[in-house]
Amino acid sequence: MKIFHNTHHAEHAGRQEMFRGRLVDCHEVPMRLQHVLDELSKRPVGTLVQPAADLPLDAALRRVHSADYLDFLAHAWRDWVALDPANAAVDALPSVWPLAARHGFRTDVPPLNFAARLGQYAFDSGTPLTAGSWAAAREGAACALAASHAVLGGDHFAMALTRPPGHHAGPNYMGGYCFINNAAVAAQALHDGGLQRVAVLDVDYHHGNGTQTIFYERSDVFTASIHGDPRTEYPFFLGHADERGAGAGEGFNLNLPLPRGTGFEVWWATLQTAMQAVSDFAPQALVVPLGLDTFEGDPISGFKLRSADYLQVSRAIAQLGLPTVLTFEGGYAVAEVGVNTVNVLEGLRG
């Protein structure tokens, strides 16, 4: 198994985020990925590699994100510091947002003020933008693209081991610690590589609102997600069971929300439902946004999976028999995330 490692990930290291009404130290930190690397050194279940430098990355990014959003990300830190040189010592967090057009707020006239543009492209105040955010996110997308190319080339499993995560990032917005949607980049690359049907099975505690939005009106990418009930859990405004797709995508989106406190037995039964739906779609490849924040000790989540459960989960996913790309998503019990991730990889091997 090839594990594409984002060597630029630590360049994104947020200082603080807005969490439940107050500024706190960031939950999404470089040590998350370092713990995975440390565990892989003890249990080497794959080969750590880096994405090739000549990947068609810009074209791949434009397949899932709008050009204006990508341009904003590429220049955001420069524009932030241009407001005030002292900004170089603090992260950028949005403080104002336009509501939907039905409320009378307009987004068709691009604002010149950086704070307004940051709010236009963000849906929360918990995703700090730092000097290295673009470099880290861009290289993470390269890992996802490379993992897809590996699967297209004959590998049965490949992983994008990267941060920041990605599944909350939408066509033209960031949030939930995410800037570029790595799972969407991977799924689109598999499709562009000649596969007619690709499935996404998101097992993160939080609904992958960005991935759903990107593919919501398409029938060639089936999206399924098991996550905390959005009536009480982030990201709140998407992830309900009645969201089944629209237009050509009607029936090709499956949300399986569960209440906070759900244990493994119920979660496992729900996984069987999701996998049956994936099988019924008959995809030629699978993308798994791998969130480990379903772990019982996660500080910002609420399911009760234990470390040993991840072996069983990945063995079940492997039994689908599909070429599979995994993207590293949430998991904020930092000390345990390495063990849990490598347990998944070991389970894939059988």
Q: pLDDT by residue (tens digit) across 281-303?
A: 999 999 999 999 999 999 999 99
- Confidence at residue 102, expressed as pLDDT on a 0 to 100 scale: 63
Is position 240 annotated as part of the catalytic site?
no
Whether the pLDDT of residue 280 is over 70: the answer is: yes
- Confidence at residue 109, expressed as pLDDT on a 0 to 100 scale: 85
Task: Over range 100-109, report the average pLDDT.
Answer: 76
Task: Over range 167-173, report the average pLDDT.
Answer: 97
Residues of the chain above pLDDT 70, percent: 99
Whether the pLDDT of residue 54 is over 90: the answer is: yes
Non-local (6+) Cβ contacts of 89 within 8 A are: none
- Confidence at residue 309, expressed as pLDDT on a 0 to 100 scale: 98
**Apex CA 268: angle with CA 264 and CA 270, to 5°?**
120
Whether the pLDDT of residue 180 is over 70: the answer is: yes
Q: Which of 65, 168, 206, 207 is catalytic?
A: 168
- Confidence at residue 105, expressed as pLDDT on a 0 to 100 scale: 84
User: In the numeric block, which tokens belong to residue 253?
Assistant: 């989106």
Whether the pLDDT of residue 27 is over 80: the answer is: yes
- Confidence at residue 108, expressed as pLDDT on a 0 to 100 scale: 82
Helices (H), the chain: 31-42, 57-62, 67-83, 114-120, 133-152, 182-192, 209-215, 264-281, 309-318, 334-349
Whether the pLDDT of residue 327 is over 70: the answer is: yes
Task: Over range 159-174, report the average pLDDT.
Answer: 98
